[in-house]
Chains A and B, each alone.
Chain A
Amino acid sequence: MTENSERRVVSVIVINEASVLSRITNLFSGRGYNITSLTVAPIPESKYSRLTIVTSGSVRVIEQITKQLHKLIPVLRVYEHEDIVEKEMALVKFPITENITDIDTLCQAYNGKIVNVGENVIIAMVADESKRVENFLKAIKRYNPKEIVRSGAVALER
């Protein structure tokens, strides 16, 4: 790509029907667009679902992504966000032998907490901006995380 590539969050409101998700992902793969993350869930009390797609591309590519998404028949609306509140959740599993107090303190700094302590593992949760989640994941490396699950971002326009 010759032009500058930038990260963008795009929200798509679609009719909640069979194969609508594959229409969206096919469009991205068929036209060579990136998907960094994708979340989807029904909008309460409606026939629609909301997808939040984190993508990247030049200004022209992002414009094409929104236009091409809008061309899909079951797509109601496409928001290419400028000013947003964005959150992503991560779950991390630690060995029980790690320092639970340290982990808890770290989690709290990233809007999270320890959600489960079992015989062998500690499970912690954080919910924050994607960039901050990444920082959290760097910070906990020394506590030997065994498994990490990220949810992908969700976003709302301010």
Chain B
Amino acid sequence: MQISGAQMVIEALIAEGVDTVFGYPGGAIMNVYDEIYKQDGFQHILNRHEQASIHAAEGYAKASGKVGVAMITSGPGFTNAVTGLADAYMDSIPLVVISGQVPMSLIGTDGFQEIDAIGISRPCTKHNYLVTDASDLPRVLKEAFYIAASGRPGPVHVDIPKDVTAQIAEFNYDFEVELETYKPHVKGNPRQIKKAIEAISKASRPLFYLGGGIINANAGELVREFVHKTGIPAVETFMARGVLSHDDALLVGMLGMHGSYASNMAMSETDLVIGLGVRFDDRVTGKLSEFAKNADVIHVDIDPASISKLVNADYPIVGDVKNVVTDMLKSVDKIDAENYESWREMIANFNDLHPLTFHEDTDRLKPQWVIKRVGELLGDDANISTDVGQHQMWTAQFYPFSRSRQFISSGGLGTMGFGFPAAIGVKAATPEKVSINFTGDGSILMNVQELMTAVEKKIPVINIILNNNFLGMVRQWQTLFYDKRHSETDLSAQPDFVKLAEAFGGIGYRVKTKEEFDAALKDAVAKNVVAFIEVIVERFENVMPMVPSGGSLFNMMLLEKKETK
């Protein structure tokens, strides 16, 4: 059929099964928005800033496992979106982002709202396209969805000049993607898998090192089975929270800079690291030369470039975690769970020595208590997103996650302002769950305009603002490493968060006690509306334990021991 480029975009999105598009219109993308107006195949959610559109699409993608879609205009519309693209790229989130571009005749002339969009998005996308002819659009869009979701997922950016969206051409979407130069390696090498199983059966202190790749591969259940059948203890990265349930006896905890003492000690004492969908990030490993120093390394990852990038893999296995673990499970009987009894005891002792905890020793509420309390009240019924900073680490430490895709946060890029729009996307993808965004008094202001989006579309996100009147994480580093010179981190100048929420049509609560908090959360959940719950928390609380930047995992700053109240 002969249709316009703009109509092709709509037809392709519907054919891809897209039910929600996040975006913001503008001059160069108007032809496409005109077609959005005419269609009813998907809903469009109008964010109030393009960065938020991308984060919302990320939240949607992470919660649903589908490709997130965002649509923006040229120039500033696109540049506003760049942070989101970079965030999605770092965290391997499948997105298709469609941007308008000035007409072909104006490209290169410094036209109004012109910017070299694909030049800018190149280093922060998995792939990108400038479409110069409408007849290329079906192929480009189909490839974009395929590339975004396959292999190591990531964002794909499609830039379409305005005249191309007006151009009429033949549309046929019924074909298979064939990319001679892109063939992700999904099946693990059987010989390598066999060797890895042998190594596990011979190890005396093996340790699972579980990463976000497991969630991307939808391999959470399989990994649980693998862990339980082998009886091997497991540590999770920040990105893997929820792969094992919080109450799993074999889950040691989160490792890394703010990981638990037991997790980091286990990683330091293990003789065989079994890395699944991990990338040995510097926030995880600490000082590389001391990381798992006495261990051999099995590394399973879909991205060959992740293997032996930072830590040499003795057993490299390139493949989709789901495929590889399926194959490994076939010979799991070679592994005897009883062999690791003393190792499990050793880890239990580490945990007894310095458990992950906090002290309720001040008049003000402790932020960790708030997070634990939400876990007690909502637990599995909530999907949790966060912004970036102290509250993010406390959430990763203290929320009782019980499943994959429950925890949505900006890991690699550490983007403040991620949480609220992401939570909107999460709620759009999983309306049956309560959508909680833990945020700080710094982060929330970075995309606070999304109150309007959420209120307009009746997307009831509950933002729990842990207010310490500080840019807390930077303040913590200043306290610890800059001799308490709290340069530009005192955020005492603040809006009235209750009135702010109300001004947009949401509900605001300000709470100072446990009772007030419980009442506010229950009220917000019951009313099912967009809410700010501002919790006044202890100002100088630090995230502990902590591996100072560049330090060794076994050399942690620990919480001072004292009797809790």
Contact = CB atoms under 8 A, between A and B. Distances in A.
B16 to A, nearest CB: 19
A22 B180 contact: no
Contacts of A75: 181
A60 B312 CA distance: 9
A76 B181 contact: yes
Interface in B105-146: 118-119, 122-123, 126-127, 130, 132
Interface residues of B, number: 18
A60 B180 CA distance: 27
A19 B304 contact: no
A151 interface: no
Interface stretch (A66-74, A81-89, A98-106, A128-136): A66-74
Contacts of B305: 64, 67-68, 70-71
Contacts of B132: 18
Contacts of A6: none
Given A60-B308, A67-B304, A70-B304, A15 B119 contact: no
Interface string B292-313: 0000000000011100110000
Given A19-B130, A73-B127, A73-B181, A26 B303 contact: no
A73 B127 CA distance: 7
Question: What is the predominant secondary structure among interface residues of chain A facing chain B?
Answer: helix
A118 interface: no
B459 interface: no
B181 A15 contact: yes
Nearest to A48: B181
B182 interface: yes
B118 A73 contact: no
Contacts of B182: 73
A76 to B, nearest CB: 5
A75 B179 CA distance: 11
Nearest to A64: B309
B180 A23 contact: no
A137 B308 CA distance: 40
B130 A30 contact: no
B122 A26 contact: yes
A19 B118 contact: yes
B94 to A, nearest CB: 15
A26 B132 CA distance: 22
A157 interface: no
Interface in B298-335: 303-305, 308-309
B119 A73 contact: no
Contact of A76 (B119, B126, B180, B309): B180
Contacts of A15: 181
Contacts of B123: 26, 30
Contact of A74 (B119, B126, B181, B309): B181
B147 interface: yes
Given A19-B118, A64-B309, A73 B304 contact: no
B119 A22 contact: yes
Contacts of B308: 60, 63
Contacts of B130: 18-19
Interface in B455-486: none
Interface string B178-209: 01111000000000000000000000000000
B143 to A, nearest CB: 8
A13 to B, nearest CB: 9
Contacts of B126: 73
A23 B125 CA distance: 11
Contacts of B127: 73
Nearest to B143: A73
A127 B535 CA distance: 74
A64 B118 CA distance: 24
B141 to A, nearest CB: 15
Given A26-B122, A30-B123, A71 B181 contact: no
B122 A23 contact: yes
A71 B309 CA distance: 14
Nearest to A19: B118
A96 to B, nearest CB: 43
B131 to A, nearest CB: 11
A63 B308 CA distance: 9
B122 A22 contact: yes
B239 to A, nearest CB: 20
A83 to B, nearest CB: 24
A70 B308 CA distance: 15
Nearest to A13: B181
A149 B123 CA distance: 32
Interface in A28-55: 30
Interface in A68-126: 68, 70-71, 73-76
Contact of A73 (B147, B303, B309): B147
A148 B305 CA distance: 39
Interface centre among A23, A67, A70, A71 (most CB of B within 10 A): A71
A39 to B, nearest CB: 20
A26 B121 CA distance: 11
B179 A73 contact: yes
A60 B313 CA distance: 12
8 contacts: A18-B132, A26-B123, A30-B123, A67-B304, A73-B181, A73-B182, A74-B181, A75-B181
Interface of A: 14-15, 18-19, 22-23, 26, 30, 60, 63-64, 67-68, 70-71, 73-76
Given A15-B181, A64-B309, A73-B126, 7 more contacts: A19-B118, A19-B119, A30-B123, A60-B308, A64-B305, A70-B305, A71-B305
Identify the 10 closest CB pairs spanning chains A and B, nearest first.
Answer: A67-B305, A73-B127, A76-B181, A30-B123, A73-B182, A67-B304, A68-B305, A26-B122, A71-B305, A74-B181
Interface of B: 118-119, 122-123, 126-127, 130, 132, 147, 179-182, 303-305, 308-309
